[in-house]
A = this chain, B = another copy of it.
Amino acid sequence: MVDILIRSARVLQLKDETATILNEHDILIEGNRITAIQPTGELDPSHAKTVLDADGQVAMPGFINTHAHVPMVLWRGMGEDVNLDSWFNDYIWPLENNLTPDDVFWGMQLGLMEMIEAGITAVSDHYWHMDYAARAVEKAGTRALLGQAMFSSNGMGQIDDTADFVQRWNGQANGRIRTILAPHAPYTCEDDFLKATAQKAEEIGAGIHIHVAETIAQTQASLERRGQTPIEVLEETGILTAPTILAHVIGATPNDLEVLSIATAPVGIAQCPKTYAKLGMGYANLVEYRKMGLPVGLGTDGAVSNNTLDLWESMRLTAMGQKQLTEDAENLTIPQALTIATQESAQVYGQGDDLGDLAVGKLADVILVDVSGIHHQPLNSVTASLVYNTRAGDVQTVICDGQVIMQDRQHKTLDKGEILDHVLPQMERLRQRDNTHRIQTYNP
């Protein structure tokens, strides 16, 4: 008796950057693992506790959001048409003055719900009050890699506090929750603070999730101020000796890429192209990054810059952005975009062996995508449709860790009414914005 039989799907398979579709195939799930992928008909549906009739839907790995600040959905649409300095100093950091643990608990649920509807089953989240974020993840049934954000201006004591958080939550919720140390950025964390964080990471066996070289201007400012790039600062302070998620890395020099490519610990690059476009930040040349062996993961960043938590958009914008940047439409092909969205994002997330692939033995994070809509017709290429035509609304069913958390667009874990009942009455308070009171100042 299997736990879940996904019946008669189009199963997406990616190998060596080649994408294929297994038509009319079943996926069998026992516990939280995939135990078989086989032609429909080999298993009688009566041998499954739950049968999900996929009938031509595409089965693919759940998306992995490698860089986000999920509870920022609370301020969605509130930092528009401004450049990065103003965005930080006039919007985000004044607004974040208002944040309470309860806001994180409910804001996290709101964002998790949006992500579930978009087929995102895991998120690497970098934010505050992360015990409350963890409780929201427990409830949602998704995976998360949680890091408590730190500015060095808040003192060295944070490092032990967040290390406690890391140890308290790592492996909880049947392993769905993992944890990470999360210093904000080299421009908001002094060298001593970064060094102490790196030492703590080694001591407790944790990874590090940090923003770095977000723009070319940041790299230039760092070079002028101290003669080192932000990536070189990470190297010198020991950050790169831990498994690391580096968010953005748009302002990397050729030497920076060399440094990253020879780092002994795994380094992953998280990319949030909608945020970069909206803030006019430029794009990293991912074609080169990938040639140097650096894995690239998709991210949404927070919803005040990205507006949505939708990795279909991030995937599409990643592919299109690289074609524009390199002026070569042969770059970042459909199979490459799908590889980045699945296997490479899993690698950046630190679970490359267990996630991002539909194969026997992998964790059962599977989404079912309806490609029967008129915007997919005629379905000349399933893989082209996944990259360029699919909307979050086409995701029908979401399985995470062997549990169905959304079925035919009905949520099984979170309740929209309950979430909005908690969030909406707080919005007048949360929208207050006094830019003489901000949690930090952007001056990289």
Count of chain A residues near B, Cβ 8 A:
63
C-alpha spacing A74/B379, complex, angstroms: 9
Q: Which of B74, B320, B331 is the one whose CB lies under 8 Å from A274? A: B320
Whole-angstrom distance between the alpha carbons of A420 and B373 in the complex?
11
A 51-92 contacts with B by CB, 8 A: 73-78, 80-84, 87
Q: Are B378 and A424 in contact (CB under 8 A)?
A: yes
Interface assignment of A391: CB less than 8 Å from any CB of chain B: yes
Which residues from 392 to 444 on chain A have a C-beta closer than 8 Å to any C-beta of chain B?
A: 392-393, 416, 420, 423-424, 427, 431
B320 touches A378 (CB 8 A): no
0 or 1 for each of A104-132: is its CB under 8 Å from B? (1 = yes): 00000010011001100000000000000
Interface contact B117-A374, CB-CB below 8 Å:
yes
Contact A78 B381 (CB under 8 A): yes
> Is A327 part of the binding interface, using a Cβ–Cβ cutoff of 8 Å?
yes
**In the assembled complex, which residues on chain B have CB atoms less than 8 Å from the CB atom of A309?**
375
Contacts of A361-392 to chain B: CB distance below 8 A: 374-381, 384-385, 388-389, 391-392
- Minimum distance in angstroms from A105 CB to a CB of chain B: 15
Q: Are B323 and A279 in contact (CB under 8 A)?
A: yes
Residue A307, interface by CB 8 Å: yes
**Is A241 in contact with chain B by the CB < 8 A criterion?**
no
Query: How far is B373's CA from A393's CA once the two chains are assembled, in angstroms?
Result: 10
Q: Does A31 contact B (CB under 8 A)?
A: no
**Cross-chain contact B280 with A329 (CB below 8 angstroms):** yes
Q: Which residue of B is nearest A80, CB measured?
A: B384
A residues whose Cβ falls under 8 Å from a Cβ of B:
73-78, 80-84, 87, 110, 113-114, 117-118, 274, 276-280, 282-283, 307-310, 319-321, 323-324, 326-331, 333-334, 374-381, 384-385, 388-389, 391-393, 416, 420, 423-424, 427, 431
With A282-B324, A375-B392 known, 13 other A-B pairs at CB within 8 A are A76-B376, A77-B385, A80-B333, A80-B334, A84-B329, A113-B374, A278-B320, A278-B323, A279-B329, A280-B324, A307-B384, A378-B420, A380-B431
Could you give 15 example pairs across A and B, Cβ below 8 Å? A75-B380, A78-B384, A82-B329, A83-B329, A110-B377, A274-B320, A278-B320, A279-B323, A279-B329, A280-B328, A282-B324, A378-B424, A380-B427, A391-B393, A393-B393
